[in-house]
Amino acid sequence: MTTRQLAVLLVLGATWGASFLFIKVLVDSNMAPTGVSAGRSALGTLTLLPLAWHARDQFPRDLRTWAALALLGFFNFAFPWTLFPIAAKHSPSGASSVVNALQPIWSTIFALVLLKADRMSGARMAGLLLGFGGVFILMGQDMLNADRAGMIAILLMAAATGCYALSNVCISRWLKHVKPLPLAASQITFCALYLMPVALFTGAYSEMNVSAGPIASLLLLGGVGSGVAIVAFTWLLKEAGPVRSAVVTYLMPPVGVFLGWLVLDEVVGWNLILGLVFIISGVALVQQVPLSSLWRRVATLTWRTAAEPAD
């Protein structure tokens, strides 16, 4: 990677790794889950609108494509973005960042079924078992606030990452003709249109503790994480390619766990660390990344992110 590409990768890892911290802060401030998902999608839409207007000639014209984008706006954004805040009520933010790393594993399963992709090798099968084994390890009692509620929270987050993966596979199968910016902006706009009326009608913000922390968290989660970061990742995907860009998947969980410990005093128990190792190792095997060099690279990237000076 060039210096610029590496810088963008590190910022993306830090931004999306911190998003689970922001969700936890908002939920703890008594914002309803639909308020979190509606707020971030609305701010993301506002951030992307100027870019979308500039690229308006790239947007599709046929109704079938718009119908598919509308459907993806629900399953790729509205539904999973609401599941994560629901789960955050009963699990630490670090756990959310770890479970989120399951997405490539889900993608492999759906790609095998829908895209008739590469055949399942022994290493990939081991990766699937490691990844989902990590989910069960995360259900350990030491980490969760309540046994049953905590387990359900982990399963909800796993389902949310499945929605991401299924949506991405569907995009690869049926929406290759849509440019990246229209693809992202359209889905997030539909997400905001779905969620904001629900949030306002149900009083999702009525009991919110309005203070600097929650407001800053919502602005960063929505405007940066759900807006600017998506554009930055689109650029990185084009410049560095999908393989190098996928490194962000490995960077987010360590950042999320570290920030949960640093900011929210979350306990980093044995099951969180072991679950992290299982899931990321499983993702590596599924993506055919050598385990011998994976953890050294993750540690290096995490250290560079933590040491990155503020602008």
Say which residues have a Cβ less than 8 Å from residue 185's Cβ, sequence separation at least 6.
45, 48, 49, 51, 52
Res 157: pLDDT: 92
Residue 281, number of CB atoms within 10 A of its CB: 20
**Containing structural domain, residue 198:** 3-307
Res 71: pLDDT: 96
The arithmetic mean of pLDDT across residues 271-284, rounded, is 84
Total domains present in the chain:
1
For the whole model, what pTM was predicted?
0.85
Res 246: pLDDT: 67
Res 310: pLDDT: 46
59-89 pLDDT per residue, tens: 999 999 999 999 999 999 999 999 999 999 8
Name the one residue in this structure whose structure tokens are 């899931």.
Answer: 279
More confident residue, 302 or 221: 221
Res 311: pLDDT: 45
CA 59/CA 116 separation, integer angstroms: 29
The DSSP letter of residue 57 is G
Tokens for 208, please give them.
């919110």
The arithmetic mean of pLDDT across residues 5-30, rounded, is 91
Query: Residue 173's pLDDT band (boundaries 50, 70, 90)?
Result: confident
CA geometry: angle at 188 spanning 186 and 190, to 5°? Answer: 70
The arithmetic mean of pLDDT across residues 35-41, rounded, is 97
Say which residues have a Cβ less than 8 Å from residue 234's Cβ, sequence separation at least 6.
180, 181, 184
132-159 pLDDT per residue, tens: 888 878 776 545 555 677 788 888 999 9
Mean pLDDT of the residues in the chain: 85
Q: What percentage of the chain carries pLDDT values higher than 70? A: 85
Res 269: pLDDT: 80
Q: What are phi and psi of 119, to 5 degrees?
A: -70, 155
